[in-house]
A and B are shown apart, each in its own frame.
Chain A
Amino acid sequence: MSGAELTIERRVRSLLGPDGVVDTNPAGVPRVAPRTTEACALILEAAASHGWHVRLGGGSRWTSDDAPADLTLSTRGLTRVTRVSPPDLMATAEAGIRWSELKRALADHGAWLPWDPPGADRSLGSIIATGTAGPLRSGFGSVRDHLLGLTLVTGDGRIVRPGGQVVKNVAGFDLTRLAAGSFGAFGLITAVHLRLRSVPRADVTLARTGTRDELLQMAFAIRDAGEAPAALELASPGITGGSSWTLALRLVGSEAAVHEARRVAAGTAGKLEELAPADGAGFWNTLAENAARGEVTLRLGVLPAGLADALDLVTHHLDEECLTATIAGGAVRWTGAGSAGQLRLLRAAAAQRELPLTIERAPWDILSALGHFGAYREGVGRLVGSLRRVFDPTGVLVIPAGEG
């Protein structure tokens, strides 16, 4: 352990006092988990004035823990649900809470956040910072669509609170949407106000297996036939553990609406098998876990008509072991092991088709070379750079957003 690191650790300890936990990772880099937003701000303010480089993390390993940094700032100490208001269908939670715990806390109040992000035991902050939505994106939109406001600590330790706690709000610029899905490029999200729904009265999953392309056709037929499904997801055998591709349809809502939608879907897609409730839940859990089981996970934004082509593209450059397609949500996801070279070629081929490819999680050597987002469209890189300087003027945050 070098003298400089010791100094950082000592400084951090004296700044936090009892207001957080400090330890060191195996590489000797101090890791600090404050218990308040204000303490996070103190740390980042010190980092900005001392020129430390800081890695952000939530303990669920969705940021590269091998990123070079002088300090890791973790949200593990921020785990409270500070408010759940069932009549207003809103909640406020800190970013470090586990997704499973938050779901439970909301369910206790009859409330539901229609998210099913890939991965197991994520922190709330990691879901938001990476913007990883799961199959429910088809029916309920992106992660951002459920955020009413948030608390963000900028790279130089300012506390910013855009948005609010009400479901409709156009006061001020929408920095909430900017921060969500930006992988921490604009600061550390410490708390969020969430828009909830009532727990649906009925929740049914239907599925069938087949070849990829026949299921894709079936998916379009279902989409065109009727009610917008909560989820309409195509998954490769590696995701479901089966021997062929699976098309899964999830319907949620009132008993009457689900009953009708089930009838329409069955009439359209032939033999859809209805899963028992526990099997349905198990199916989606397995899908979520397997959709992030590789060391690299990525997503592509794809128009419905381009899904087959995008799936071919990923298969060609990587493999088709763990692939999913969110039919109406316009996304293809892949997880596995890939080299920087393969990913770069895939991204270039995707860019030619106007498909943005976001690398959500990867080892540092890949991320630092390729960035989460890669090359921006013309003119956008300059704008993103200017925005990052507003939020992190001295470059404290180690976030490879654009191409490195």
Chain B
Amino acid sequence: MSTVLDSLSGIVGERWVRTAGPALDTYASDGLPTINSPPRAVVIPGNRDEVIAVVRTLAAANVPFVARGAGTGLSGGAVGNDASVVIALTRLNRIISVDTVNRRATVEPGVVNARLSDATRPHGLHYAPDPSSQAACTIGGNVAENAGGPHCLKYGVTSNHILELEVVLPDGELITLGSPAGEPWGPDLVGLFVGSEGMFGIATRITVRLLPIPGSIRTLLADFSSVRQAGEAVSAVIASGIMPAALEMMDQSCVQVVEASIYAAGYPTDAAAVLLAEFDGESEAAVDAESAQIAQILQANGARSVRTATTAADRARLWQGRKKAFGALGRISPDLVVQDAVVPRSALPDVLDEIAAIAKRYRIRVSNVFHAGDGNLHPNLSFDGRNADERRRVEEAAGAIMEACIAAGGTITGEHGVGSDKLRYMPLIFDAETLTVMRDTRLAWDPAGLANPGKVVPIHACREWHAGGRARKAVA
């Protein structure tokens, strides 16, 4: 390994290779606190050519590597171990071009999500996917995880916004996927790459679609005396045919935590649930009419009150509590696990009841803040990780919540990815045949299995590990 590290220093310069000390600890976790695993080394290349040289060096020495952006992921995906090298892409942070006529931009992977929209705002354009961590997370990480965000209800997730990708394959070869206008050049390899969690290679240039910033926005806040009513109101809004830009819900536990924090947004603390609905469009008149219609629907479906925010300042205040909810929740206990699961919208009321029952059974505080419009739940489990019994109960409660979501016809992750954290749930939603094909798909990109090994596909659940299954030749 030491020769490899010397070679890496030769490529990027000694100051950009970290092999010991607190620097490694920084990269030992991502946003998921329960996994802590320092890599053997961290290398921080400064440009694409250095990325290629680094990957080639590691491939030649058969050393696994983990590409990493800002490390805000919540599934333990961008974490290596003592046999692997983290390739941090934060120095590849240039916005290479903004093409206003064709509404697209080409960026390096280390560009921070919010910075891209900042740069395109003067042109009346923005990059729509807006994960809660957008002030810190990178576009490269968004591509790896197929990140979502509140506004993907109307505008789609990352995958809907990536047109072209330049990728360094795990053997160091540089290829371009997609085409300038986004039409696949052959099978949709951009679509396959997005969400592959760093297991297919490293994207070094990313061309994204930009959308016009809506001219008019209204934000509604409705509060309900039961979670079930709020869930039913969500279905009624969706059925109206008016597509909200965002439709977010917080339960009472979450609202109370937010209101007790410095992020207080004026949410009614006695409500069982509050619903934040946003509508946007080009014309003031149309957005006014639509939000008035939705306000009526919310009231007809049991809302105790509906407030409408028109000015940017009022809207920001209503959003503040939602956007800072995770931060506020982080203050009430030493540790916090943010779960991520999706259920069919119609199952929301039942599943929320069940989550409440699970919280009670395991004596864990669970607060819900989530993307109600697409059924994407984020149960937050507050605990003290120093207490082994509490840790165990959190693990078990999280598992029980996942099982409830799957039983309702849902899935184990809507936007955070599988990473290490959700590996154990993969066999609950995919059969051995499907997992085997996923594993082999990965090997088509990375025959040596060096790019972020051990994530996404639980190898033990693939076909040839199953006694009695059809025997198939195992691929390394």
Q: Beyond the given A330-B181, A377-B175, could you list 10 further A-B residue pairs with CB under 8 A, ordered by the A residue number? A: A85-B346, A154-B437, A161-B430, A168-B157, A168-B376, A178-B191, A198-B240, A228-B211, A301-B183, A380-B175
Contacts A90-B344, A168-B415, A172-B418 given; does A259 touch B286 at CB 8 Å: yes
Chain A, 212-249, contact with B by CB distance < 8 Å: what is the 0/1 string? 00000000000000111000000000000000000000
B25 → A minimal CB distance (Å): 28
B-side contacts of A200, CB under 8 Å: 241
Decide: B195 and A158 in contact? CB cutoff 8 A. Answer: no
Decide: A254 and B174 in contact? CB cutoff 8 A. Answer: no
Decide: A254 and B293 in contact? CB cutoff 8 A. Answer: yes
Decide: A256 and B239 in contact? CB cutoff 8 A. Answer: no
Question: Which of A89, A167, A170, A330 has its CB near the most chain B CB atoms (within 10 A)?
Answer: A170
How far apart are the CA atoms of A379 and B168 in the complex, in Å? 11
Query: Which 10 pairs show the lowest CB-CB distances between chains A and B?
Result: A301-B183, A177-B191, A256-B289, A330-B181, A379-B175, A260-B283, A386-B444, A198-B241, A356-B185, A87-B346
11 residue pairs from A and B, CB less than 8 Å apart: A166-B410, A168-B376, A170-B414, A226-B282, A256-B286, A301-B185, A356-B183, A373-B187, A380-B186, A390-B443, A402-B186
Chain B, 406-437, contact with A by CB distance < 8 Å: what is the 0/1 string? 00011111111110001000100111011111
Decide: A89 and B238 in contact? CB cutoff 8 A. Answer: yes
Chain B, 272-293, contact with A by CB distance < 8 Å: what is the 0/1 string? 0000000001110110111001
Q: In this assembly, does B72 line the interface, its C-beta being within 8 Å of a C-beta of chain A?
A: no
A-side contacts of B240, CB under 8 Å: 198
Decide: B191 and A144 in contact? CB cutoff 8 A. Answer: yes
Question: Within the complex, which residue of A171, A261, A306 is in contact with B282, where a contact is CB–CB below 8 Å?
Answer: A261
Decide: B345 and A177 in contact? CB cutoff 8 A. Answer: no
Chain A binding surface, main DSSP class:
loop
Decide: B437 and A303 in contact? CB cutoff 8 A. Answer: no
Give residues of chain B (308-358) contacting chain A, Cβ–Cβ below 8 Å: 342-346
B291 → A minimal CB distance (Å): 10
Question: Within the complex, which residue of B185, B374, B435, B440 is in contact with A377, where a contact is CB–CB below 8 Å?
Answer: B185
Q: Nearest chain-A residue to B475 (Cβ)?
A: A390
Q: In this assembly, does A145 line the interface, its C-beta being within 8 Å of a C-beta of chain B?
A: yes
How far apart are the CA atoms of A401 and B374 in the complex, in Å? 35
Q: Nearest chain-A residue to B238 (Cβ)?
A: A89
Q: In this assembly, does B442 line the interface, its C-beta being within 8 Å of a C-beta of chain A?
A: yes
Q: In this assembly, does B173 line the interface, its C-beta being within 8 Å of a C-beta of chain A?
A: yes
Decide: A198 and B239 in contact? CB cutoff 8 A. Answer: yes
Give residues of chain A (351-404) contacting chain B, Cβ–Cβ below 8 Å: 354-356, 358, 373, 376-380, 383-384, 386-387, 389-391, 401-402
A-side contacts of B415, CB under 8 Å: 168, 170
Question: Within the complex, which residue of A158, A197, A378, A401 is in contact with B175, where a contact is CB–CB below 8 Å?
Answer: A378
Give residues of chain B (335-387) contacting chain A, Cβ–Cβ below 8 Å: 342-346, 371, 374-376
A-side contacts of B409, CB under 8 Å: 165-166
Decide: B238 and A384 in contact? CB cutoff 8 A. Answer: no
Contacts A168-B374, A257-B283 given; does A173 touch B411 at CB 8 Å: no
Q: In this assembly, does B88 line the interface, its C-beta being within 8 Å of a C-beta of chain A?
A: no
Question: Which of B184, B281, B293, B429 has its CB near the most chain A CB atoms (within 10 A)?
Answer: B184
Decide: A199 and B285 in contact? CB cutoff 8 A. Answer: no
Q: Nearest chain-B residue to A110 (Cβ)?
A: B239
Q: In this assembly, does B85 line the interface, its C-beta being within 8 Å of a C-beta of chain A?
A: no
Decide: B180 and A303 in contact? CB cutoff 8 A. Answer: yes
Decide: B186 and A256 in contact? CB cutoff 8 A. Answer: no
B-side contacts of A170, CB under 8 Å: 145-146, 148, 157, 195, 413-418
Q: In this assembly, does B156 line the interface, its C-beta being within 8 Å of a C-beta of chain A?
A: yes
How far apart are the CA atoms of A143 and B235 in the complex, in Å? 25
How far apart are the CA atoms of A303 and B192 in the complex, in Å? 22
Decide: A160 and B434 in contact? CB cutoff 8 A. Answer: yes
B-side contacts of A256, CB under 8 Å: 285-286, 288-290, 293
A327 → B minimal CB distance (Å): 11
Q: Nearest chain-B residue to A255 (Cβ)?
A: B289
How far apart are the CA atoms of A168 and B415 in the complex, in Å? 7
Q: Nearest chain-A residue to B428 (Cβ)?
A: A171
B319 → A minimal CB distance (Å): 20
Q: In this assembly, does B441 line the interface, its C-beta being within 8 Å of a C-beta of chain A?
A: yes
Question: Which of B148, B235, B283 has its CB near the most chain A CB atoms (within 10 A)?
Answer: B283
